[in-house]
Structure 1
């Protein structure tokens, strides 16, 4: 048995000013992983590629890996990069002789000229090879279009947010594919959308309603009623027709039952639509609340979430408003992760460890999609740490994965240790602090540019959680964004929207 594996994964924030060239998909900023190097890199990791490799190797398959292209969320993928990635994958498909194709895709990729990046890739694959079975692992934040699921033999979405089941999701999809190859099952699919844009801050599977929706999907799979059942909360910071919540269910030959399960998921989500809305509070109030909670130091820190500027949703990671308010209100014993500012990092490197420097941090990327942009923040501090930014994740989203943050600095103001990075990266793991000489458990406050993913590994360290509405293209205030292309009416942009029709 010969299996072709490939990955092309990007969550596109169409409001983000961060560009998405080919180099953004390279883990070291230089070259893509492919072939035997990709197999060695991902084997045994808690990633989709890790899951695909596990199932393929257990089956004794001959494995060929085309490109593995993952990029942090940002603006639309540049057309030249997208075409190059599609050509590489389609070129591998065209070699022929495959028994199955396993694809690690995101589901919310927008490329210049294509708002359904995954569907266009699959259309091209099927134009070359209309019959070879395809299994796909999708992110829970996929914005689903018909070609994404109708051209696949099987597609499975994550059941957890934070996404701690990436490898498991790929394994689920791959195992169904192998069953189909053996003639044990014949997957059929049903899917549908609800007219709603759930706020990302209300999508976590630690709470109602997504916790219950994902439990329904898992129960149907475990009982055998569904081969794969997925509730996609969607990615709302994509101004495209298909943005929003959807459900996709595959069964063994019973499309009517698949449709019944889809409708049950959509109806449940619609009835709970108010719980998918997040309402922010003024920034000064949030920081004051955090300060009051941290008056007495305990064995766990208070966590402040600078969630409007989460780079894992396309944020620039260089907005300064939350950091400025923390400094203004005088919070002490704070670790702030972080500000993406290569120029500031270079200045600290030139000054050296122990030097005192005054820098204008952040505020360097204009954000024309918002009514306001961030401003540089002047800070004086001591250079405490210079790091190459390499570490291996031990827990959380992708255990065993080698991560490259790029050159990284810790700048200490005396009250706040500010992490300065050269690549946008979401602070989701204690390992990211510890490689810089910071023990997160010992801090009075952890201020991080994150939304939900931090809960997987940093969550157990939190004594209290305070969400801080700063400035950024991941804003939870939809009124700050202009939606021109999303289907209308849609809740909560249009409060009187009618629900999904059975």
Structure 2
């Protein structure tokens, strides 16, 4: 048996000004062929699980590409074509396909990156079964449903079950090949834009929906996935979905999909996040720090999560609102980063370690329609310069090498700023430790993050405050100009009736 295994991951924020060329996929572009295999073998991605499952079967494996980029603006046409062409070119002669996809890719030439790829793979291999692993924030489309035999998404956010999702999808595909299962797909998509901060698998309506999915699996469905969708994409339906893989009984699968979709719709208000004013959030963080110091005598930092400029939703990581408000309120002992500003990094490197400089940082990229801002003028001492690379210790992307681009540390007295050439999610303490900064010694940690930092940084923190800097990943849909969105859709519209089925 010959199995095609590939990875193409990108969550596209169509409102983000951050470009997505081919070089954005990896340290300097995708990993191809044997390098794609080596990049995933022994890791914790869905592709890693596909490789392990295929090798246990003694299958011949073809791995044309492994391409994963941080969320950003639409994928460049040439990048999308190169990745898809590599996958499709590897298809002839293969008996099965396992694809590690995100599910919310928009390219310059298509609003449905995964659906178009799957359509091409299906055309190349009309009789070969296709299994797909998706991110919990995938935007499911009819093309994806029509051109896959098995679809399974993550059930956790933060995503700590990537490998397990790939293992699940591979198991169902192999069972189909052996005649042990007969997968059929059912899909429902309520017209509901969900806030990413309301898609945590640990809380609220999302947790209850995932519990319903697990219960349906325990009762006989092969797989049930609840995909929160990614609403910061100007496509027809960047909405929540329920995808059910039944075992030969389409009617039963449809009933499960409809039941869970109705549950979600009935709790739709719980999927919407409404941010308090930024100044109020910063004042709350200051109060938490005072209480922690006075009551417990703890030296642990308070986390301020700048979800309005979140790298892993396409943020620029150069919106300086949070730092500016924190300084205006007199906060000290701050560590902030990673802040993305290639020009500032170059200037800091030229100045050298130990130099005292005054430099403009950030506020250089804005969303469409937003007023231009002057850079934040920082005066301080350059403390460190590095290549910006480190190895993630987990639990997300465990063992993978991370690339921040060149990095510099600027000490401005009240705050230590970690400035990088690339946008970067604080996956790991290594974001700071790799540049010689101990995040545990900070009084306040200002992170460009929403959720992924939490498994690592919450255990070392005295408290957490969500802060909305009104960047390109804010939770207020009024910030964005949708032109393709199908209406009505909640919460942009209200008072309409939706009927599943």
- Within-5 A mapping of 1:40-79: 40-79=38-77
Task: State the Cα RMSD in Å.
Answer: 1.4
- Counterpart position of 1:293: 288
- Counterpart position of 1:254: 249
Question: Is 1:84 aligned to residue 82 of structure 2?
Answer: yes
**1:70-114 CA distance string (max 9 Å, x none):** 1111111122221222211111113x1x22111011111111231
The counterpart of 1:93, out of the listed 82, 91, 94, is: 91
Aligned residues: 496
CA distance in 2 between partners of 1:381 and 1:219 (Å): 56
- Counterpart position of 1:166: 162
CA distance in 2 between partners of 1:231 and 1:274 (Å): 17
- In the TM superposition, residue 220 of structure 1 has moved relative to its aligned partner by 2.8
CA distance in 2 between partners of 1:500 and 1:323 (Å): 45
Question: Is 1:155 aligned to residue 154 of structure 2?
Answer: no
- In the TM superposition, residue 126 of structure 1 has moved relative to its aligned partner by 1.4
Change (3 A) 1:375 1:225: farther
- In the TM superposition, residue 499 of structure 1 has moved relative to its aligned partner by 2.9
- In the TM superposition, residue 299 of structure 1 has moved relative to its aligned partner by 4.0
- Counterpart position of 1:195: 191
Change (3 A) 1:350 1:173: same
- In the TM superposition, residue 5 of structure 1 has moved relative to its aligned partner by 0.8
* More off after superposition, 485-494 vs 331-340: 331-340
- Counterpart position of 1:416: 415
- Counterpart position of 2:182: 186
* More off after superposition, 80-89 vs 455-464: 455-464
**1:452-495 CA distance string (max 9 Å, x none):** 11122222223221111113111111111122211110100002
- Counterpart position of 1:263: 258
Change (3 A) 1:202 1:278: same
- Within-5 A mapping of 1:410-449: 410-449=409-448
CA distance in 1 between partners of 2:229 and 2:237 (Å): 9
* More off after superposition, 210-219 vs 356-365: 210-219
User: Would the aligned equivalents of 1:367 and 1:373 in 2 still touch at CA under 8 Å?
Assistant: no
CA distance in 1 between partners of 2:212 and 2:384 (Å): 47
Question: Is 1:379 aligned to residue 378 of structure 2?
Answer: yes
CA distance in 2 between partners of 1:28 and 1:199 (Å): 30
User: Would the aligned equivalents of 1:195 and 1:497 in 2 still touch at CA under 8 Å?
Assistant: no
- Within-5 A mapping of 1:305-320: 305-320=305-320
- Counterpart position of 1:209: 205
Query: Secondary structure at 1:417's aligned position in 2?
Result: strand
- In the TM superposition, residue 501 of structure 1 has moved relative to its aligned partner by 2.5
Query: Secondary structure at 1:155's aligned position in 2?
Result: strand
Unaligned runs of 5+ in 2: none
- Counterpart position of 2:234: 239
- Counterpart position of 1:12: 12
User: Would the aligned equivalents of 1:157 and 1:169 in 2 still touch at CA under 8 Å?
Assistant: yes
- In the TM superposition, residue 19 of structure 1 has moved relative to its aligned partner by 1.5
- In the TM superposition, residue 374 of structure 1 has moved relative to its aligned partner by 4.1
User: Would the aligned equivalents of 1:237 and 1:474 in 2 still touch at CA under 8 Å?
Assistant: yes
Query: Secondary structure at 2:204's aligned position in 1?
Result: coil
Query: Secondary structure at 1:278's aligned position in 2?
Result: coil
TM-score if structure 1 supplies the norm length? 0.96
- In the TM superposition, residue 349 of structure 1 has moved relative to its aligned partner by 1.0
Query: Secondary structure at 1:219's aligned position in 2?
Result: helix
CA distance in 1 between partners of 2:366 and 2:240 (Å): 30
Question: Is 1:276 aligned to residue 276 of structure 2?
Answer: no
- In the TM superposition, residue 224 of structure 1 has moved relative to its aligned partner by 5.8
**1:422-475 CA distance string (max 9 Å, x none):** 011111322222212222233211110111111222222232211111131111
Change (3 A) 1:401 1:500: farther
TM-score if structure 2 supplies the norm length? 0.96
- In the TM superposition, residue 21 of structure 1 has moved relative to its aligned partner by 1.5
**1:181-219 CA distance string (max 9 Å, x none):** 111011001001101101111111121111121122233
User: Would the aligned equivalents of 2:191 and 2:237 in 1 still touch at CA under 8 Å?
Assistant: no
Question: Is 1:394 aligned to residue 393 of structure 2?
Answer: yes
- Counterpart position of 2:458: 459
Query: Secondary structure at 1:218's aligned position in 2?
Result: helix
Query: Secondary structure at 1:41's aligned position in 2?
Result: helix
CA distance in 1 between partners of 2:496 and 2:51 (Å): 44
